[in-house]
Amino acid sequence: MYSDPILSIRGQIVDVVGKRIFPGIIHLANGKISSIEHEANNEQIFILPGFVDAHIHIESSMLTPYEFSRIALLHGTVATVSDPHEIANVLGMEGIKYMIENAKKSPLKFFFGAPSCVPATTFETAGATISAQDIEILFRDYGLQYLAEMMNYPGVLSRDPLVMEKIAVAQKYKRPVDGHAPGLRSEEAARYISAGISTDHECYTIQEAIDKLQYGMKILIREGSAAKNFTALIPLMDEYADSLMFCSDDKHPDDLELGHINLLVQRAIAAGYDTMNVLRSATLNPVKHYGLNVGLLQQGDPADFIVVNNLKDFQVLKTVIGGQIVADHGHCTLPKVQHPVINHFSCLPKTTEDFFVPSEGETVNAIEALDGQLITLHIQSEAKIENGNLVSDIEKDVLKIAVVNRYSNKPPAIGMIRNFGIKRGAMASSVAHDSHNIIAVGVTDEDICRAVNLLIQNQGGLCVIDGTEESVLPLPIAGLISPQDGVSVSKQYSLLDKKVKSLGSTLRAPYMTLSFMALLVIPEFKMSDLGLFDAVHFRFAKLFS
């Protein structure tokens, strides 16, 4: 499958543990580093530990772990701290086991966590439940590394017994607990952290991050396809480098093709931050925090490292895992393989009348989407009524949004949203965090209905409707993942992205933004399959105000 193992390599050795760079030769034996010698040489390459994504949902790439690795390895990623939360919300334990087994096919080191919030809330319909007993099985029998993001921060603050039971299981097995507490500050942040929660990747202001750092939390600087917090948080590198890690959280395939953690390293160093501090955040810090079996270029370590052209461009020349070259000058050595399909779709096609909303007033409560952020705003807008039906207002860019339960045959939930910018047609996705029901935005009820039904017909995916034209990227694995190779999925996704933007959307990543409009644990207003949701007060809201 891979190239022959390498026995030695010369170059400029970047020792992130000892904070030094020196010329030398690294000797390998049996997949480990047997010795490292100082040796003067003129090799103009740099050898350093491979990059670690400290928090990612592989499912959001729409690729299997194996196909994800075939792209990520090219960018110098040797390990991920992966939360299978998305597929768990659809398929429960079966979905988690699918990810574990698929990941075993790849040399990239996937370290999975036990999802802590399945379902994410009680205000939506998910496809499965993960209990404290399930989490114990995942730690005891499957060796999972950590308790994944505790999204139910109100439950932590109130010391909800079911929430605390899950945290107690993690503490029993000495597993770190990841956090998810956007906007939490001061005493509430302290109480959340005191429950045993060690990280957060949801900070969107530097003041919030400093609050959490001062209470002993580690901060993950996130730059994904939708949520982009690098610019806001990278100044922390000067004072808090030992408590920082890099993550992508959610990465669509076209963005993954362009780069991964290597891009964050490159940007941070270009901005003038200390090279060694930046590299430690991308390598050493996650390895130590999570106790990962990933080499750090020390004698006796697994031979996991990368070779780059210099410490400015970070062009990855080789990626080596366990002494095997798995990526070489832009070529991944892993072959294509077949991936089995599992899914959970149990809803019937809808009719246009299902999306009719009788008028109940002159003003509606609506969602305002923010480009590059998971948070939204609550706005009020004048209702546009035609023949007694609430309809999209293209001139004000306030469009109809629908969430359709995909696990049983229920009526759609309808709301209104601003900033998608679509002037005609509709778009829909069965990737809709966290329960992954079908979510759609469109100009007419007919277009929305056609988009929803196209996904029901395909048992999940992304689609766009433009007049008589229908385009779809099927995602038959849990309605989240394609069994195809990463390059093919990326091309299909890029085509859909362009089609949505041709309808008028100015969002940088419209499908990723759409997928988070059902994420009820992020303020301010979101959409559930059960109705419009106030994520500030954790309660449903009326559509008409």
In this prediction the pTM is: 0.94
Q: What are phi and psi of 82, to 5 degrees?
A: -110, 130
Query: What is the C-alpha to C-alpha distance for residues 306 and 477, in angstroms, rounded to an integer?
Result: 32
Q: What is the pLDDT of residue 4?
A: 67
Residue 57 has pLDDT above 90, yes or no: yes
* DSSP letter string, 189-258: HHHHHHTT--EES---SHHHHHHHHHTT-EEEEEB-SS-B-HHHHGGGHHHHGGGEEEE-BS--HHHHHH
How distant is the alpha carbon of residue 443 from its chain centre? Answer: 29
Mind listing the pLDDT tens digit for each residue in 80-119? 999 999 999 999 999 999 999 999 999 999 999 999 999 9
Residues of the chain above pLDDT 90, percent: 94
Mind listing the pLDDT tens digit for each residue in 114-163? 999 999 889 999 999 999 999 999 999 999 999 999 999 989 999 999 99
Q: What is the pLDDT of residue 5?
A: 79
Query: What is the C-alpha to C-alpha distance for residues 138 and 147, in angstroms, rounded to an integer?
Result: 10
Tokens of 368: 């305002």
Q: What is the pLDDT of residue 6?
A: 81
pLDDT band at 373 (very low <50, low <70, confident <90, very high): confident
Q: What are phi and psi of 142, to 5 degrees?
A: -115, -5
Mind listing the pLDDT tens digit for each residue in 483-506? 999 999 999 999 999 999 999 999
86 close to 433: Cβ distance less than 8 angstroms: yes
Q: What is the pLDDT of residue 521?
A: 86
Residue 512 has pLDDT above 60, yes or no: yes
Tokens of 452: 């929803």
Residue 1 has pLDDT above 60, yes or no: no
Q: How large is the average pLDDT for residues 37-58?
A: 95
Q: What is the pLDDT of residue 130?
A: 98
Q: What are phi and psi of 334, to 5 degrees?
A: -80, 135
Residue 2 has pLDDT above 60, yes or no: no
The Cα-based distances of 155 to 122, 150, 164, 444, 521 in angstroms read: 12, 9, 8, 39, 11
50 close to 294: Cβ distance less than 8 angstroms: yes
44 close to 298: Cβ distance less than 8 angstroms: no
Cis-peptide, bond into residue 149, ω within 30° of zero? no
Mind listing the pLDDT tens digit for each residue in 384-400? 999 999 999 999 999 99
Mind listing the pLDDT tens digit for each residue in 335-368? 999 999 999 999 999 999 999 999 999 999 999 9
Which amino acid, 37?
E
Q: What are phi and psi of 301, to 5 degrees?
A: -75, 155
Q: Give the H or E element holding residue 494.
A: helix 486-502
pLDDT band at 372 (very low <50, low <70, confident <90, very high): confident
Q: Give the H or E element holding residue 179.
A: strand 177-179
Query: What is the overall mean pLDDT for the chain?
Result: 96
How distant is the alpha carbon of residue 388 from its chain centre? Answer: 40
Query: What is the C-alpha to C-alpha distance for residues 519 and 436, in angstroms, rounded to an integer?
Result: 10
Cis-peptide, bond into residue 65, ω within 30° of zero? no
Residues 6+ apart with CB under 8 A from 434: 85, 86, 89, 117, 119, 120, 121, 124, 126, 151, 518, 519, 520, 521
